[in-house]
């Protein structure tokens, strides 16, 4: 049997992209009323569950902890993760966190991960999605790794762990790479790595019995001035809704639409 793992999966509560999304919050932040678990985080959770199950699951001593940072509503991302199969949840929430940029967010998450390692069993692996579906900066895995002095393995499209070493395939740029790193590590996974499971009825019932720990900034030893708008190194000065695109000319093909299309392209000087 492989060594057991303590895995933290970062999950984010993001505005549902199926609806119109708005920037109306203080400091030009995103309105989070219609929010869901970021779809890309489901791949990270699935990867964590598979690694833990290969090692005998919770009974053998593996841990899969879903960690979300955000206002009260963000606990729903943790609850959804528990229904899908995470073993326990942590909700990091504090009014002072509002408006945190990636640098401030990574500071708070790094402190939370150190806090979760302070029970005598250090975190082996931090798993994330390839991006959040709202901010989409993809900065958190790199910045968190830098703050924790962990290696980062990003955009993993396959992931194996053996003998304390992570081996992953990475297909981010012009190359296909095999990447190796020692645990503890931060790993972000793509949407190609697996097929995430759906919560079933049993999972939804079981989730009600799972623990969600609430952490405040004081619990993780972070001062309010280090996070939020005060602790951020970037400021969004303005946000303007882009005028919606309007439909243009629509024609039905009468046998010459291909030629009409080329006429249109020529008129637009696009040939």
- Residues numbered 130 to 149 that lie near another protein (CB under 8 A) are 130, 133-143, 145-147, 149
Residue 217: CB minimum distance to another protein, A: 19
Q: How far apart are CA 235 and CA 27, in angstroms?
A: 8
Smallest separation (angstroms) from another protein to the CB of 202 = 28
Q: Which is nearer to another protein, 2 or 256 (CB)?
A: 256
Span of 78-86, 111-119, 185-193, 197-205 interacting with another protein by CB under 8 A: 185-193
Judged on CB neighbours under 10 Å (0-12, 13-18, 19+), 161 is buried
What is residue 21's DSSP assignment?
-
Per DSSP, the three-state class of 68 is strand
Binder among 2, 177, 214, 216 for another protein (CB under 8 A): 177
Cα 6 from Cα 47, distance rounded (Å): 13
Q: Which is nearer to another protein, 95 or 180 (CB)?
A: 180
Answer for the pair 162, 138: CB distance below 8 angstroms, yes or no.
no
Which one of 153, 183, 222, 227 is in contact with another protein (CB under 8 A)? 153
- Strand-pairing partners, residue 64, are 7
- Decide: is 36 part of the binding site for another protein (CB under 8 A): no
Q: H/E element holding 41?
A: helix 41-54
If one asks whether residue 238 binds another protein (CB under 8 A), the answer comes out as: yes
The one among 41, 63, 101, 124 contacting another protein by CB under 8 A: 101
DSSP-derived 3-state class of residue 131: coil
Query: Measured between alpha carbons, how far is residue 93 from residues 2, 73, 218 in Å?
Result: 35, 10, 10
Q: Which range in 12-20, 45-53, 69-77, 85-93 contacts another protein by CB under 8 A?
A: 12-20
Which residue of 36, 60, 172, 213 would you call a contact of another protein, by CB under 8 A? 172
Q: Which residues on neighbouring strands pair with residue 37, listed in sequence order?
A: 13
Question: Residues in contact with another protein, total (CB under 8 A)?
Answer: 86
Radius of gyration of the chain (CA): 22
Is residue 251 near another protein by the rule CB under 8 A? yes
Which of residues 173, 198, 202, 208 is near another protein by CB under 8 A?
173
Least separation in angstroms between residue 126's CB and another protein is 13
Least distance between another protein and beta carbon 86 (Å)? 22
Part of the chain binding another protein (CB under 8 A), chosen from 52-60, 82-90, 215-223, 235-243: 235-243
**Shortest Cβ 49–another protein spacing (Å):** 20
Q: Which of residues 113-132 bind another protein (CB under 8 A)?
A: 130
- 72 near another protein (CB under 8 A): no
Question: DSSP character for 66?
Answer: E
Q: What is the DSSP string of 192-233?
A: TS--PPPP-HHHHHHHTTS-EEEE-HHHHT--GGGSHHHH-S
């Amino acid at each position: 049997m492989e060594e057991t793992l303590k895995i933290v999966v970062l999950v984010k509560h993001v505005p549902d992209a199926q609806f119109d999304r708005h920037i109306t919050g203080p400091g030009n932040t995103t309105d989070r009323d219609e929010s869901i678990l970021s779809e890309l985080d489901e791949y990270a959770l699935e990867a964590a569950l598979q690694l833990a199950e290969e090692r005998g699951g919770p009974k053998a001593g593996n841990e899969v902890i879903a960690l979300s940072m955000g206002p009260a509503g963000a606990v729903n991302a943790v609850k959804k993760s528990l229904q899908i199969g995470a073993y326990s949840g942590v909700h990091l929430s504090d009014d002072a966190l509002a408006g945190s940029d990636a640098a401030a967010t990574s500071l708070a998450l790094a402190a939370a991960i150190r806090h979760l390692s302070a029970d005598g069993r250090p975190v082996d692996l931090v798993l994330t999605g390839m991006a959040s579906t709202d901010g989409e900066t993809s900065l958190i895995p790199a910045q968190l790794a830098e703050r924790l002095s962990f290696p980062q393995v990003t955009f993993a499209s396959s992931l194996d762990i053996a003998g304390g070493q992570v081996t992953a395939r990475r297909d981010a740029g012009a190359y296909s790479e095999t990447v190796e790193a020692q645990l503890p590590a931060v790993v972000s996974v793509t949407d190609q790595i697996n097929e995430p499971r759906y919560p079933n009825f049993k999972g939804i019932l079981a989730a009600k019995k799972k623990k969600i720990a609430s952490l405040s900034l004081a619990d993780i030893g972070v001062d309010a001035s280090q996070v939020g708008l005060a602790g951020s190194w970037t400021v969004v000065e303005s946000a303007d809704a882009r005028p919606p695109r309007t439909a243009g000319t629509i024609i039905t093909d009468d046998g010459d639409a291909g030629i009409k299309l080329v006429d249109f392209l020529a008129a637009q000087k696009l040939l």
